[in-house]
Each structure stands twice: as C-alpha cells, then as structure tokens.
Amino acid sequence: MSTLDQIKGPADLKALPAGELDGLAAEIRARLIESVSRTGGHLGPNLGVVELTIGLHRVFSSPEEPIVFDTGHQSYVHKMLTGRQDFTTLRQAGGLSGYPCRAESEHDMVENSHASTSLSWAHGMAVARRLQGETRPTVAVIGDGALTGGMAWEALNNIAADKTLPLVVVVNDNERSYAPTLGGMAEHLATLRTQRRYEQAMSWTRRSVQSAPVVGHAAFDVLHGLKKGVKDFLAPQGLFEDLGIKYVGPVDGHDLGDVENALRLAQRFGGPVIVHVITQKGRGYDPATNDEADRFHAVGKINPETGLPLEVSGRAWTEEFSEELVEIARERQDVVALTAAMLIPVGLDRMQAAFPERVFDVGIAEQHAATMAAGLSHAGMHPVVAIYSTFLNRAFDQLLMDCALHRQGVTFVLDRAGITGSDGASHNGMWDLSLLGIVPGLHLTAPRDGVRVRQALREAVAVSDAPTVLRFPKGTVPEPLEAETHRDGVDVMTEDGDGEVDELLVAVGSMVPTALAVAERLRAAGRTVRVVDPLWFLPVTDGLLAELRRSGNARVSVLEDGLVVGGLGQRIAAELPERRVRPFGVPQRFLDHASRGALLAELGLDVEGISTVLLG
C-alpha cells in the first residue's frame, strides 16, 4: 500500500515521519495527474498546493481548527488528506465535487466556488468561536488571484481592527488566477515575492521561535522588529503590516519545513496573522508550467503524457463571440472589452492580441467591471463586459444602479449560461434570466447558434442608451439553424400554416434544437405545431405577443434553460392571462453536479421529457 493510501485522515498525516513527506507529495502529484487527466478538472491549482496543504493538515487540527479554502477549486489535495482519495468519478453524478462540499466531509466548511469570500467566512466563524469560548484559530487559504476581489479587502479591513482574533490568513501566491494576476495587489505581492535575500535573512528568526510553546504579542513583536530592520533594507514595508495585521513571509510553499514552521508560528500567535506562501501553479507537471500553463487551470480529459486533449470537440460558442468582437473592434474605435480574471475562457484573448490597449482584465472584481463599464460608456466608449453567467450575480447591483439607472450603453456577454453541469450548483448559469428580468430598460437575447451570436453582438453594441445582454451556453455550438420566416422581430423556425395551430413552442436560445425535435414528435401524433425563436425577449416584445395571438387558442409551451420562476414563460403568462402557458425550465433549487445532458434529462428538459408531458 502506498503512503497516500494509508492516509485516512489528518491524524494519519500528523503521525507520518517527516522523512516520508516528500515521497507523499510526489505520490499526490502523480495521483492528481493520473486522475484529473481521465475526468477533467482543476489540475494546475492543485499541483501547486501539495506541500502547503500537507503543512496545513500537519499543523492545524481540522475540523476543530477549521480550514476555509478560497477558491475552492484548489481543495483536491485537502480532499485526499481527509479520506477522499477515489477521484475516478470527480465532478460526475454521485462522485466527488470539484469544490469543498459539506455533504462529503466534516472537514469541508464552505463550498467557496465563487472567489474572494473566504476571509469573510473565516472572520465570521472566528468571531463566533471566540464568543463561544474557543481560543484555537480559524484558517482561511486564499489564492489563485482571489485577493484581487474587493470583498476580500472588505474583510481584511475588519479583521485588521480586531487585534486578538485568532485568525490565520494563508495567501497562496502563485502569481496567477486563471492567467497571470494583474493589478496593484499583484505588483505588491511580486515586490515581496522577489526579495529572496529577505526570506533567507529571516529564515533563522522563524526557526528560532517555532519551538516556543506560546508566541504572544510581545515575542511576535521582537520577531517583527527584526523583520522590519531587514525588510526596510531589502524590500518595501509590507502592505499587510501597514494595515495592522502581522505578516509572516514570504515562505517557499514547496519547502515542507519552512511551510510548517511558518504555520506553527502563526497558529500560536493569538491574533490575526497573514502567512504569505509562494507556490508554483502546476508544479511537477511540465505541460502545466510551460508557456501554455493557462490551459491547465482547468482541463477536460487529456493525455497525461503530453497534456493534449483526448476529446476534440467542435467549435465553441465562445469562439463565435471572440472572432466577431475583433471584427467589430476593427470597425469601431469606441468598442472596448472588460473581464474579471477570465480573459481566455471568455474569448477576449483575441481582442487583447489585436487591441491590447482596449481590453481590461480587472481581476476577480465583477462589481468593479460593471461600474467601470458604466464610466467608460458615459465618457463615450461602448464597453463589452464578458463574464460567466453565474458570476454576473455578483455584479447585479452595479448593473442595476450604475448601468441601467443611468441608461448607459453597456453590453454584457454571459458565457456558460444555462445548465453547465459538472462544476456543480454554484456554476450553473441558471439565475440570469430571472435577475435581469427586473432591470428596467434592459434588453436581452439568447442566440440559438453561432450565426445568431454574431448578429446579436452587432445589434447589442448598436444600443447606446441602455444595457444589453447576450447569453449563450457552455460547449459546442450547433450547425446554423435557418428560420422559415421572420415576422415582427421573431424568427419562425417551423410552422404548419400561418394561422391557428394546436401547439406553439417558444424556445429560448440553446433550447431551439430541442423544440424542433419535440415538434417532430408532436406532428407524428397528429398535432399542428409552430416553433418560434423570440430573439430579443426581455422585455417581452410586441412581436412575440403578436405571434402568440396569431396562434389562436394554441397551447403555449416555453422552453428555457433558466429558472421557471421569473422566466420568460411566467412573463408571457402575465402578459396574456387568458392563454394556456406551460413553462419548461429549471426548478427553484440548487442542482447537484453531473453532465449537462444528465441534468437536462433529470429536469425533464430534454426531448424525451418535454414530449412525454405534451403528449401525455
């Protein structure tokens, strides 16, 4: 049995002789590469935190000293060291989640699949534990660029004011989020990170106090004084210490001895401490550390020897947007683009290559992106904000009060809209239709194919007095779907006559192919059918209402991949209360991780499920 297979929990890890830890780290990396290459998942972040996670579980006693991971996709090693070593079904139905999961283990405190929240969670937990008489520390591990998020700094502002709160903040500094981390915070960490002479000079001070039974404020201040003298000579004064939070580091995150020493020092301090740990994302796997390292943040199934994809998928929705945006930018000098630490996943890398001065990656700061876009619009530009649908939730107030209230021409492009599946409950883009439907003046479209992505993007950036939203799903774009006719802003995909029919199917975006397949089954059962794509449908357009009236007493079914509550189906029913409207959409609950197809089938949103209901 390998050393890793003998680790059933943190107690086994603590009992392991120090001489066996390097071998354990090597086993963990081999297991990660072997497993994630077969299932897909977040490979690079986890290869980088192997020694750090070993150190965390050797020093702290989880769950009594809780460890909160941010972002949660760097928790695979944590899972292995807390008894979950079978990664064969990672991110699959019934298998391990790709994030911490309370249902899996008592060691998982917070799912934390949306970044920059760990410090607020840990602050609240630490305060509550102190009120209950607990003196042991709470630990937050923040990394992969999450310190670029404003919420993290709101938390630090409050943590710094409480000098006796036993809270350890571990900054996992790997210089990257998805891609290299940008901005002032990244530059500050780089300043600290590159002063290796400082780290070497301070090594003896950490080691000299690590064996002390208690390191209180006085002892820590002696160490701090020594550090300051060296640091002022070799590196600028640390921002964290200027905030009033004790600072340990920078620490080599791949030196197990240094990691443990720094964490033990922080554990015994009795107040808020930041431990700055330098790691290498993708460490131990050459393809994940070379010039294409960004590809290995999250991977599909790959050849573990070469790092190349095993499954060659078709053309992605994102590519259609990416290419068309560059063409528009060539034609219009006022078009600029913003994203929140997702430059490559949302397809802005092409525009950055062509027009680097017109693309802005603001870090994990969706709120700032939305309001910065409002400012850009007010000053005469047309910004395109490209983010994942699920992350728009975080910028809703800014979209509402800064963009819509001020009638700014800002285009939001929502990638991964609808059911995404394997990344779990937090990453399904199922909330946007319900949220955006309450924003006055906002216009929304869901293209059904790549041709419509391109057309819709041009239509969106032509609007100068209101926010526009374009949403599309994850995955491969279908072949172009031509409409039979176009009436009043609505594409009629297929119809049995231009008057009254038995069934009217209103299909939103990626649900159009499903609606067409359902229509064939209804026709086979002797029903007359019309399928329409409403194109721009928030607010509900006069053209769509006219199409509903044209269909006479037809039963109306609305197929959408967002929540039923607040969705298009409910809006149509409210506009025409006399009509029979059946909405097919996502129920108001969080969905377990599984493939998109499996979830659609479970929810009855596939061809079989919808046809069964309509033919029943």
Selected catalytic residue, list 281, 448, 452, 571: 281
Selection from 470, 460, 177 nearest residue 344 by Cα: 177
User: Token digits for 575?
Assistant: 């506009």
388 is in an annotated binding site: no
128 is in an annotated binding site: no
CB atoms within 10 A of CB 612: 13
Between CA 590 and CA 171 the distance in angstroms is 30
Judge whether 366 counts as a catalytic residue. Answer: yes
Selected catalytic residue, list 31, 206, 264, 394: 394
Selected catalytic residue, list 111, 366, 547, 560: 366
285 is in an annotated binding site: yes
Tell me the DSSP string of 413-450. EEES-B---TT-GGG-B-SHHHHHTTSTT-EEE--SSH
In the chain, the amino acid numbered 279 is T
Between CA 338 and CA 385 the distance in angstroms is 5
Chain centroid to Cα 174, Å, comes to 18
201 is in an annotated binding site: no
* Pair 77, 70: CB distance under 8 Å: no
114 is in an annotated binding site: yes
Between CA 588 and CA 46 the distance in angstroms is 33
In terms of Cβ atoms closer than 10 Å to its own Cβ (0-12, 13-18, 19+), residue 213 is exposed
Which residues on adjacent β-strands are paired with residue 247? 274
Tell me the DSSP string of 79-133. HHHTT----TTTTSTTS--SS--TTT-TT------SSS-HHHHHHHHHHHHHHTT
> With DSSP H G I counted as helix, E B as strand and the rest as coil, what are the percentages for the chain, rounded to 5?
45, 15, 40
Rg (CA), the chain: 27
Tell me the DSSP string of 293-352. GGGGSSB-SB-TTT--BSS----BHHHHHHHHHHHHHHH-TTEEEEESS-TTTTT-HHHH
User: Token digits for 112?
Assistant: 């934390």
Buried b (16+ CB within 10 A) or exposed e, 43-71: bbbbbbbbbbbbbbbbbbebeebbbbbbb
144 is in an annotated binding site: yes
Between CA 339 and CA 346 the distance in angstroms is 8
Between CA 281 and CA 545 the distance in angstroms is 53
Count of residues in the chain? 616
198 is in an annotated binding site: no
Judge whether 394 counts as a catalytic residue. Answer: yes
User: Token digits for 285?
Assistant: 């796997």
Residue ranges for the known binding site for Mg(2+) are 144, 174
Residue numbering of the annotated binding site = 73, 113-115, 144-146, 174, 285, 366
Binding residues for thiamine diphosphate: 73, 113-115, 145-146, 174, 285, 366
Active site (catalytic) residues: 281, 366, 394
